[in-house]
Amino acid sequence: MAESARLKLWLAENLADRLAAAARLVAEALARGNKVMFCGNGGSAADSQHLAAELVGRYRRNRPGWAALALTVDTSALTAIGNDFGFDEVFSRQVEALGRPGDVLIAISTSGRSPNVLRAVETARARGLKTVGLAGRDGGPLAALVDVALVVPSDDTARVQECHITLGHILCDLVEEALCGGPA
C-alpha cells in the first residue's frame, strides 16, 4: 500500500502539468465535436473501456454524453483484423477506419512497448489525431511517439495500472471542469 501511495504522490508532484495538457487536448477535441479513442491490452484494455464509459456516460456530473470509444470491445473487428493482418494491427486498422483529424487517441501500455499500441499511435499521428500515452517504467517507445506522455516510474505492473486509472479519473475530472465550468 505504501508504494502505491508513494507513486500517486509522485504523480501529483511531477505530472500535474502534463495531465492538464492531456485534459486540454481532450476537452478541445470534444468541444469541436471530435471524439476520443482508447486502446491497450489486458488490464490496459479494461482501463480503455472504463475511461471511455466515463466520457460517454458521466464521470461526476450530469451532462450530455461525449464521443468516446475503446478500440478493445469489438470482438469481430479484433479477430478479423488479427486473423487477416496480424495482432500488431488490431488497433491501427480501427484508427485508420474511424479516426479523423482533430480526434484524440489515448494509448495505454504499462511497458510502453506493446507493438499494436505503438502502431495505433503511428497511424493516429499520420491521420492528424492528437495522441496521449499512459505508460510505465521508462515510458518505452510510446513516450517519444505521443504528444503528451504520462509515464509512471515503476516496473510493478499492478502499481502502474493503479496509477493509470487514477490519472484517467483526474483527466475526466479536468475535462468535465473545462467543458461544464468549475469544479464538481
* Domain hosting residue 28, numbered range: 2-180
Tell me if the pTM is above 0.95: yes
- pLDDT tens digit sequence for 31-49: 999 999 999 999 999 999 9
* 131: nearest Cα among 101, 155, 175: 101
Read off the CATH number of the domain in which 18 is found.
3.40.50.10490
DSSP characters over 64-99: ----EEETT--HHHHHHHHHHH-GGGTTHHHHHHH-
- Specify the pLDDT at position 132: 99
- Strand-by-strand arrangement of the 68-70 sheet: 68-70, 36-39, 104-109, 130-136, 148-152
Q: Are 77 and 105 in contact (CB under 8 A)?
A: no
Total domains, the chain: 1
- Specify the pLDDT at position 182: 74
- pLDDT tens digit sequence for 136-151: 999 999 999 999 999 9
